[in-house]
Amino acid sequence: MVMKFIKIFILWLGMVVVYPAVSQNSEDCLQNLSIFAEYAKVKNYDEAYEPWMKVRNECPSLNVAIFSYGERILKDRIKKALPQTLGAETADLMKLYDEWLENFPTKRNISVKGDIISSKAQAMLDYKTADKMKVYKTFELAYQTDAKSFNNPKGLYNYFKTLYDIYKQGNQGVTMEQLFNKYEEVSEKFELESINLAKKLDVILKKQEDGIPLNSREVRSKRVYGINSNAIGTFLSNLDAIISKEATCVNLVPLYKRNFEEFKTDAIWLKRAASRMDSKECSDDPFFVTLVEALHALEPSADSAYYLGILKDKAGDNKEALKYYEESISLQTDPYKKAKILYKIAVKFKNSGRKSSARNYARKTLNFQPSFGRAYLLISNLYASSANDCGETQFNKRAVYWLAAQMAYKASEVDASIKKLALKTARSYEGRAPSKTEIFTEGNQGATIQFDCWIKSSVKVPDL
């Protein structure tokens, strides 16, 4: 009866028991698995430790819970450890990751080696068990072994940050070029993970837009996707902040010029170089033209067409620029990458004062990726910047801020990575809109105000 209960308990946890690998004391192993899992679930790690160690030592291939819960148990022991036992506890955690890799390198027949090895590297960094070079090499091993499952935003950030720290030390032979290459590699990985999340989130947003209620699982998934998206946004922002100290035009242009002959037939190198120069506003340099023309001649693509559009824009040829921008969109087949290009074009139009075109491209962005919150925020900013240009009365001019606030709130709803910024923006615009006293004085609560300027939209005056 006891054995039957334990088997049911394990199945309830969603775990698969591998009976052939269990020792002669299989019943004891199963009982101890049940005991330590129950304690660990309620975070009573002290009581979980003894039965957990028995299962870990006697039947390590019994269940993956030995390692997923074991990581938590040992981290708790490290947190509580005395100075004389701290070294042994951290060493045991490192050993646990190696055992995890040996016994459960896959999950549902999909490799998780990258996740396990990168978790070890992060722990090495957190508990200072190795120097930066060893930590970096462990992150590198994780990425080279299994980049797909190495997707933790904090780990990816520290993968680059450890290399940056080594570069700044200046005594390990890390070059600026190696640093930039690793930045591009890691930032592309961040973009991939961001797109994967956006695809999942957009399914849920589409359901909400259609007025279909979400079930409890979808509500939970939306919250998790939001948390992960926010984490990606935060760590990617930190990554960009680090590289911005080194990736100046003064450094970039000579570096790319020096390496151009060697890499002028390497489309990936050309694309990364052009992207970095564009993002750092180095596109005024004549060498940017050289990069773009080489890229387009080698491999006409959405990226090369976009950069040619930038060149035409800078030359003042708006018609030709738009032609290349449209070509860029047509050449891109992935809807999420298409959305990114559309947003870039929207920003270009915004910066040049072409508000209607900027909004049109921001809306096109949202057609391909409904969770692209920055597109809503861009529209919000466009509306707010037109407060003095739309409406005949002072009240109506300031009413534009209500419309701007609506777009900012929409951004906060669909994109957790910019939620704080979007809410701050929305509240700021609401503060500039007419006050309750002014609404009362005008006597127009609930009225609709039409904007006949480029906005071509309307807003309802709030009820008092």
* pLDDT tens figures, 62-103: 999 999 999 999 999 999 999 999 999 999 999 999 999 999
pLDDT digits (tens, 9 = 90+) for 151-186: 999 999 999 999 999 999 987 889 998 999 999 999
327 close to 343: Cβ distance less than 8 angstroms? no
Is the pLDDT reported for residue 1 higher than 90? no
Question: DSSP of 237-293, one letter per residue?
Answer: HHHHHHHHTT--HHHHHHHHHHHHHHHTT-HHHHHHHHHHHHHTT-TTSHHHHHHHH
Residue 314: the pLDDT is 85
331/178 Cα distance (integer angstroms): 30
Structure tokens at 56: 């870990």
E strands within 83-160?
106-107, 110-111
Residue 140's pLDDT band, with cuts at 50, 70 and 90, is very high
234 close to 153: Cβ distance less than 8 angstroms? yes
Coil, strand, or helix at residue 16?
coil
pLDDT digits (tens, 9 = 90+) for 270-305: 999 999 998 888 988 999 999 999 999 998 899 899
Is the pLDDT reported for residue 2 higher than 60? no
The residue whose two tokens read 């870039």 is 344
State what percent of residues in the chain have pLDDT above 70.
Answer: 95
Runs of H (alpha helix) within 127-248 = 132-146, 153-169, 176-209, 216-244
- For the chain, how far is it from start to end, CA to CA, in angstroms? 67
Coil, strand, or helix at residue 8?
helix
Q: How far is CA 279 from CA 177, 282, 348, in A?
A: 17, 8, 12
Is the pLDDT reported for residue 429 higher than 70? yes
Residue 359's pLDDT band, with cuts at 50, 70 and 90, is very high
pTM: 0.82
Residue 449: phi and psi, rounded to 5, are -105, 125
Question: Domain coordinates of the chain in residue numbers?
Answer: 1-104, 105-245, 372-464
Q: Tell me the average pLDDT across 349-367.
A: 94
Residue 21's pLDDT band, with cuts at 50, 70 and 90, is very low
427/425 Cα distance (integer angstroms): 6
Give me the half-sphere count of Cα atoms (radius 13 Å) on the Cβ side of residue 248: 4
114/112 Cα distance (integer angstroms): 5
Is the pLDDT reported for residue 438 higher than 50? yes
pLDDT digits (tens, 9 = 90+) for 211-234: 999 999 999 999 999 899 889 989
88/93 Cα distance (integer angstroms): 9
- Dihedral over alpha carbons 149, 151, 155, 160 (to 10 degrees): 100
Is the pLDDT reported for residue 20 higher than 70? no
Is the pLDDT reported for residue 22 higher than 50? no
Q: Tell me the average pLDDT across 329-341.
A: 92
Cβ neighbours around 321 below 10 Å, total: 22
329 close to 341: Cβ distance less than 8 angstroms? yes
Structure tokens at 63: 């269940």
Residue 451: phi and psi, rounded to 5, are -110, 115
Residue 313: the pLDDT is 86
Q: Tell me the average pLDDT across 40-50.
A: 96
**By CB neighbour count within 10 A (0-12 exposed, 13-18 middle, 19+ buried), where does 333 fall?**
exposed
184/274 Cα distance (integer angstroms): 12
